[in-house]
Amino acid sequence: MSNSIKLAILGLGTVGTGVINLINDNLDELKRRSGRNIIITEVGTRRQRDDIDPDIIQNSDLMAIAASENVDIVIEVIGGTTLAKDVIMHAIKNGKHVVTANKALLAEYGNEIFAFAEANNVHVAYEAAVAGGIPIIKVMREALAANKIDWLAGIINGTGNFIMTEMRDKGRPFADVLNEAQELGYAEADPTFDVEGIDAAHKLALLASIAFGIPLQFDKVYCEGITGITLQDVNYAEELGYRIKHLGFAVRRDGQGDNNAAGIELRVHPTLIPQDALLANVNGVKNAVLVNSHPLGQTLYCGDGAGAGATASAVMADVMDLVRVLGSTDNDDQSSNNENNHGHHVPHLAFIPEQLSDTPILRAEQMTTGYYLRVHANDNPGVLADITRILSDAGINIDAILQKPAHKVGQVPVIILTLPVVESQMNLAIEKIEKLDTITDKVVRIRLDELA
């Protein structure tokens, strides 16, 4: 094997350029750590670029690069789920290791892609696909490998966190902050993926698989965005000692207790969490993931979830791992045909493929969370008694109540925080509350988690 590791970078946008810059800036560091030379041999770009080292071959034919004998590792940073998929599958077929930052592609087609990689004895590495520069994939796959993971909660979309931070810190309404985020380049012209939680759901699907050893099931992630969050709720939450963050949760439920189903909750939604939790103090475009596992307990990982530098850092961390694989004799090792010999690499989804579990993903109405309820009622002395009786009859425990002075004549919002309850129970209770004569509006509900 040659002493140089030959990389191809497909796509020269922000991330691809970031990878080139990282290699230029830190080549000495990369060599001192790996003992190998790392060179970019080919780049895939639609238009010829004159700011690229002339020794690097520029090619608009990505499929040709994916099959090139001049390439050990293919870095896919073009994005999208069509061409990117074709190119990755072609690279795998041609025995190339792949590094990708493409969360949407993996969340939707990861099971197929990883199986194809296993069959072709190559690795598809994807640290950059979740939480940017935070090494949460490596942490979950390797550092927590001896733990049983109970749940994780993550701020895994920087745009959403920027919006929630600005709303809270500066008292600015959602639409106003979204505009600024778009001007700053934090949010796309079409912000749906970010503000509706779809991007977070892609990442959550990946995190949940490596946490619990389940196949990727993006289509089963329950997803609520932040477009409905008002300043009023942000402020009531603060008053009660909570902060609203847009979080992704993956939770293992053992089915103990009444009405509780066994299975896994995969959900993205605005959530009240205690103000003094570190996660509540992760602000701006920062990402963070909190993992609760046995026997380790809670650990938190925080950093930049996007941007050229953070993403390039994650991409090249994967490359450095693959350099070790390329330095070993895996491919020639006869014993690797032994069906029980999984020792050579970390499995793509952290658990060996034949050990992935069919634990069911719970439906929304089976999920258990606490709730923040905002109920608008006529200023009727009996209304609080009616509401609390309905909740009590449904077996829902109230943790706190805040009744504020009327902001409209004759109306007062009542804020209620509940202990965890199965959603179907809460649905029934809210239906009853909304039927009360004294209730004037739909009940606003936001989930709540103590992160305990």
- Name the DSSP letter for residue 140: I
Q: Decide whether 292 or 366 has the Cβ nearer to a second copy.
A: 292
Torsion angle, alpha carbons of 334, 340, 341, 342, to 10: 140
Q: Is 203 a catalytic residue?
A: yes
Q: Decide whether 196 or 330 has the Cβ nearer to a second copy.
A: 330
Write the DSSP assignment of 261-289 as a string of letters: PEEEEEEEEEEEEETTSGGGG--TTEEEE
Q: Considering the complex, what minimum distance in angstroms separates the CB of residue 113 from a second copy?
A: 20
Q: Considering the complex, what minimum distance in angstroms separates the CB of residue 104 from a second copy?
A: 23
Q: Considering the complex, what minimum distance in angstroms separates the CB of residue 212 from a second copy?
A: 10
Catalytic residue among 96, 203, 245, 286: 203
Q: Decide whether 326 or 415 has the Cβ nearer to a second copy.
A: 326
Q: Decide whether 119 or 278 has the Cβ nearer to a second copy.
A: 278
Q: Decide whether 141 or 376 has the Cβ nearer to a second copy.
A: 141
Q: Considering the complex, what minimum distance in angstroms separates the CB of residue 158 from a second copy?
A: 13
Q: Decide whether 148 or 442 has the Cβ nearer to a second copy.
A: 148
Q: Considering the complex, what minimum distance in angstroms separates the CB of residue 230 from a second copy?
A: 25
- Name the DSSP letter for residue 67: T
Give the full edge-to-edge strand order of the sheet including 4-10. 57-59, 37-44, 4-10, 73-76, 97-100, 124-125
Q: Annotate 392-404 with b (16+ C-beta within 10 A) or e (fewer).
A: eebebeeeeeeee
The amino acid occupying position 121 is N
Write the DSSP assignment of 339-407 as a string of letters: TT--TTS--TTSS-GGG---PPBPPGGG-EEEEEEEEEEES-TTHHHHHHHHHHHTTPPEEEEEEPPPS
The amino acid occupying position 290 is L
Is-contact 344 328, C-beta < 8 A?
Answer: yes
263: left (phi over 0), alpha (psi -120 to 50) or beta: left
- 281: which residues sit within 8 A by CB, 6+ positions away? none
Q: Considering the complex, what minimum distance in angstroms separates the CB of residue 280 from a second copy?
A: 10
Active site amino acids: 203
